[in-house]
Structure 1
């Protein structure tokens, strides 16, 4: 990249922002209301990057990619160009919703027994920290598809804020340090990772400014050459070499297995444009992702089940009990039937049918089910030929991902969730290039047969749930979250809280989160088990599994008076950052 472009980026990033930054120039604020464009992310630097692009005349797609690239610098253990994701876009002028699937794919070498050794699954932690767990990254291809089809600025322009942040650095916060500490043993196992994230052999101190010049140069290559600069040439060679010959530090005791990713795997990667999942709920129209994301279908099915109750007239415990049981049933069906649609005949029409929802609703009593429930049979409600699939056991998904939500003054909206899976992905920074690789292929279930079995070129099932909500054809809310399979329940509970319990978006952020995923125990925010609501639910048979945090929501609400409210977490994982172009 030319020096002038970098200096321009520095000016854009470090200069004033007028009204758009009122009240938040020095620190993150979780709530902002005003007019014009809006952005909500987990990180102030990323929110500023998006706002810079909006102020420079870019649209929501341009701004979303700018924020995402910056998050790859400042939130590298959650996301980055070594991973993949799902983007839901509302194009206001065309009044339509499109989605881009840039989920990672398995290398061509994969077989259903790739994670089996001596007749048993490789232990999960060993699957994670290995070359085997890394899927072919999809993020860069997804960005280019989004910008070339729906953006207004070049990839070079929207990457400039991230290049500046990577080159000149950012300030370490407590969440960043905590994530390094949690992964310290893994990070020490790889020379490239230890060099970047364990300066002087220790996790970086809170308040220290750190930079990532290798990532800045990688972004510069992508800015010049486009996605081809990532999927072919030097960067692709470095990715394949890292997967196939992990940069293991001398003396490590970890059993780090090699993968088998080829340059052809990288060069052949394609993003997919898929029609959204469209469902309705009490007069609202809800758009989400199709499989291989399980989010759109699971949320839609649960809402169909819940719609049979007058939840706004019930007491809090009674209403939440219906939400939790609807989620339990929908998760049972998710585990049985949802996977990559290019490899599995997913019974989408049956899962979305009102008749199937009524059949599932009939199983809900006034108490918590004692444990997991079996899946239903959506195939008899299919309107297209299909065949039954064997139920899959519950898998394990990493809880670290990120979500951002952006809108612009013209009404375009982006809800974007992307990830490298577990905190720190597979633990391996690509030497000389400054980004971590994903461990997404651990989202496959290692034991066949079932829909989500590992196969060559397949995309593992995901829970990512970027969602946009409309009423009478106008956008009402856009939202999403990280959190593994709790992503689904976080989005579902937020819709329930806002639509049924009449909470504002800000109030919905402060309610304890409850996550029932077809298990004997129900997840709850740590401390939330002691609230009156949780105590009332305990009287209905719920047993709690306190969790440090469930979800890390970012959202935008479109208000009846024409204003917008950007909202991010006020406290979970250190809080998030909300900005609007013209505050009030």
Structure 2
């Protein structure tokens, strides 16, 4: 039955014609809605696999695979569809990090298309009257928008490692944007949560609040022809069509003078982005972070995201204990304490490597982990903010420049007003794909907070990011810190796309959204799978708890975890648990998608069964298990 559905979907998603605006208008007028396929959180089979938070995005990835594309082509196609169906998490107004396993070359590469600060950005712009600007004021503003990296990242990945061009991989997304899709409960709730700030901008209200200033109801058809137009221009002209010309000018104009709706309740700060910032944006091809854990090799994304390093350090700390020799609660205690320590180090030392000498070797050192492990009391939780360690003492080159500056920053870490840890629950999305040749992609993309900065570029249908809120703002404007705003700098991220190998063979790919909880979500899923020996679906679905070196020691936890026997045992050690989110009714942490490579060569794709409304997993050709 799944194979029959996928055959039907090929025509629906890929039969999109067109090159010019006149043809686009005709196509949009005659486009029919893309039907919502059945959703399943797990699928096993051959020929390739995909998992995303949205069934239409997963179907687009599968269709690229069925048409001969590879895992990179499929990942880009899925992310473009998510820009339409999950626009508050991902889109061409944002950026991402992609980790790719190239089967023929047996190597892992990464594509960093993180947003950058405009050249006119400097740390003083984040302060007013000597104090950091309140986060809500930065959140919805032109000042918080970084230079989008998505389109350049797509183009770099496709040209180097894909088999299809932008024109082909964007066709499913064009079809969904112009033909529309049925609004589900998750889309409706996300829109509703942001309705008041969306109303401030005439362009945003026009797209996302079309029903007399209200969200499109559940079950109704939602279309975004302006997004379809933008995708068509990028499909025709490549990245140049986005970073130069009318789209680039529209972005700059929108940030310089946000399109305020009549009667908007407050002034919104303008941005400082210029045309040259867009024109000169470059994606980066970087080496992955590599570590080991109990005989497995773990590949992650390196700086400017902190995810790969933080997960590796936490696993190195955990490697000193045997989970088989203790209760699950005792090992979860160590997981929480290891998370706390790795976050202390990540917050102080990790930033854009083109601006800061990140002590990568020291943070990955097993000896450094052994030293950090000594800070864990096996019987007692830490109920205060842990200080950072000194990874520079474990560097291959301990005389690295800026060591003194980094240690000075470590000493003053309590002076931070850390935006990315204090912020409310933020959205992102994760895509995992694999193809018949064995190539694998684990790809996290984002526009930062749910709905980005809240501003749609008029006439082009996409929201802009607010990624610059991922910079840190020390309470003292003169205090040193690795992750302060600077011209052209990429803010530190928590994104954690991860690949796991055994004896040189890939066995698992995974990642998650969730702001700084991304790190702990990926880490806990790995612990569930590698240490507690859960099935992949069980590891993804299990209740979550997150500790990110909070000053009061409180760990965020989902209700199911707080009600578990493990939580009761952890409370006996002093652990304190709080809600997963400050928003009423939002109790989820993360939304994992993953692919397991089975010993028989088949793939098992897995997505969240319930979180964020449940994700979608598909394979090219299903097999019984």
TM range (shorter): over 0.9
Q: CA deviation at 1:534?
A: 1.2
Query: 1:120 — aligned with what?
Result: 131
Residues of 2 paired with 1:333 and 1:428: CA distance? 34
TM-score normalized by the length of structure 2: 0.89
CA–CA distance in structure 1, aligned partners of residues 36 and 84 of structure 2: 20
How far apart in 1 are the matches of 2:529 and 2:481? 36
Say which of 380, 385, 388 aligns to 1:372. 385
Is contact 2:158-2:165 (8 Å) kept?
A: yes
- 2:112 alignment partner, SS class: strand
The whole-number CA distance in structure 2 between the counterparts of 1:580 and 1:477 is 15
1:433 equivalent to 2:460? Answer: yes
- Paired residues of 1:9 and 1:164 also in contact (CA < 8 A): no
Q: How does 1:264-283 map to 2 (within 5 A)?
A: 264-283=276-295
Q: Could you say which residue in structure 1 is the equivalent of 2:608?
A: 569
Cross-structure match for 1:3: none
The runs of 5 or more residues in structure 1 that have no matched partner are: 1-7, 16-23
Are the equivalent residues in 2 in contact too, given 1:84–1:102 (CA < 8 A)? Answer: yes
SS of the equivalent of 2:588 reads coil
CA distance, structure 1, for counterparts of residue 230 and residue 541 of structure 2: 39
* Match 2:395 to one of 378, 382, 386: 382
8 Å Cα contact 1:528-1:546 kept in structure 2:
no
Which is worse superposed, 522-531 or 482-491?
A: 522-531
1:124-523 matches, within 5 Å, as 124-200=135-211, 201-366=213-378, 367-384=380-397, 385-386=399-400, 387-388=403-404, 389=406, 390-391=409-410, 392=413, 393=416, 394-396=418-420, 399-447=426-474, 448-519=479-550, 520-523=553-556
1:60 corresponds, among 51, 66, 71, to: 71
Deviation at 1:314, TM superposition (A): 1.4
Q: Distance in 2 between matches of 1:236 and 1:26?
A: 35
Q: How many residues align?
A: 569
- Separation in structure 1 between the aligned mates of residue 58 and residue 444 of structure 2, nearest angstrom: 15
User: Could you tell me whether the CA contact under 8 Å between 2:456 and 2:464 is conserved in 1?
Assistant: yes
Q: Distance in 1 between matches of 2:473 and 2:206?
A: 33
- Counterpart CA distance in 2 for 1:312 and 1:248 is 59
CA contact (8 A) 1:527 1:546 kept: no
Please give the alpha-carbon distance, in whole angstroms, between the structure 2 residues aligned to 1:374 and 1:91: 39
SS in 1 for 2:258: coil
Shift of residue 383 of structure 1?
1.3
Preserved CA contact (<8 Å) 2:44 2:605: yes
Q: For 1:71 and 1:101, how far apart are their aligned partners in 2?
A: 19
- Compare 393-402 and 493-502 and name the one that shifted more: 393-402
Alpha-carbon distance between aligned partners in 1 of 2:9 and 2:320, rounded to the nearest angstrom = 53
- Quote how far apart the aligned CAs of 1:11 are: 2.3
**For 2:620, what is the secondary structure of its paired residue?**
strand
What SS class does the counterpart of residue 114 from structure 1 fall into?
helix
- Mark the CA change 1:213 to 1:9 in structure 2 (over 3 Å): closer, same or farther: farther
2-side partners of 1:293 and 1:123: how far apart?
24
**Secondary structure of residue in 1 paired with 2:68:** coil
User: Following TM superposition, by how much is the alpha carbon of 1:255 offset from its aligned partner in structure 2, in angstroms?
Assistant: 2.9
Residue 206 of structure 1 deviates from its aligned partner by 0.5
Q: CA deviation at 1:449?
A: 2.1
Check the 8 A contact 1:317/1:536 in 2, yes or no.
yes
Deviations 1:217-271 (A, max 9, x none): 1000000100000000000000001111100111111330001110000000000
Alpha-carbon contact 1:192-1:431 (below 8 Å) kept: yes
Q: Secondary structure at the match of 1:579?
A: strand
1:535 to 568, 572, 582: 568
Describe the SS at the equivalent of 2:143.
Answer: helix
SS in structure 2 at match of 1:430: coil
> In 2, are the aligned partners of 1:126 and 1:255 still within 8 Å (CA)?
no
Conserved? CA contact 1:10–1:161, under 8 Å: no
Contact 1:444 1:453 (C-alpha < 8 Å) held by counterparts: yes
**In the alignment, structure 1 residue 11 sits paired with structure 2 residue 42:** no
Report the 3-state secondary structure (helix = DSSP H, G, I; strand = E; otherwise coil) of the residue aligned with 2:152.
Answer: helix
Per the TM alignment, residue 43 of structure 1 is displaced from its structure 2 partner at its CA by 0.2
- SS of the residue corresponding to residue 332 of structure 1 reads helix
1:17-55 C-alpha deviation (Å, 9 max, x unpaired)? xxxxxxx98321101111120000000000000001000
Aligned-pair RMSD on alpha carbons?
Answer: 1.4
Is 1:42–2:42 an aligned residue pair? Answer: no
Deviations 1:403-438 (A, max 9, x none): 000000110000000100000000000000000000
Deviation (angstroms), 1:14: 7.7
Alpha-carbon offset, residue 308 of structure 1: 0.5
Partner of 1:4: none
**In structure 1, what is the Cα distance between the partners aligned to 2:528 and 2:340?**
18
